[in-house]
């Protein structure tokens, strides 16, 4: 249910998020990053577009729900 523009944005945002997430989450798991740094980690995910990604998914879900009524 995504538009072509949304698909393009999703691909770009997910690529950035996945690269950062996969690199950094291992540091938390292995203990090289302290849990006190988690808020900075979450902020960086937002900076990289997690909120925009959520908005795209929510918009698509809203369109789908409206069309299926």
- Give the dihedral sign, CA 27/28/33/39: positive
CB atoms within 10 A of CB 48: 19
CA distance 43 to 50: 9
pLDDT per position as a tens digit, 36-64: 999 999 999 999 999 999 999 999 999 99
Residues 63 and 6: beta-carbon distance below 8 Å: no
pTM of the entire structure?
Answer: 0.83
Banded model confidence at residue 69, pLDDT cuts 50, 70, 90: confident
Instruction: List the one residue out of 57, 56, 50, 54 whose CA is nearest residue 15.
Output: 50
pLDDT per position as a tens digit, 7-23: 999 999 999 999 999 99
């Amino acid at each position: 249910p995504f538009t072509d523009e949304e698909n393009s944005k999703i691909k770009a945002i997910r690529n950035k998020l996945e690269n950062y997430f996969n690199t950094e989450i291992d540091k938390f798991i292995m203990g090289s990053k302290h849990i006190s740094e988690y808020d900075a980690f979450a902020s960086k995910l937002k900076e990289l577009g997690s909120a925009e990604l959520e908005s795209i998914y929510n918009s698509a879900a809203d369109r789908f729900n409206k069309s299926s009524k």
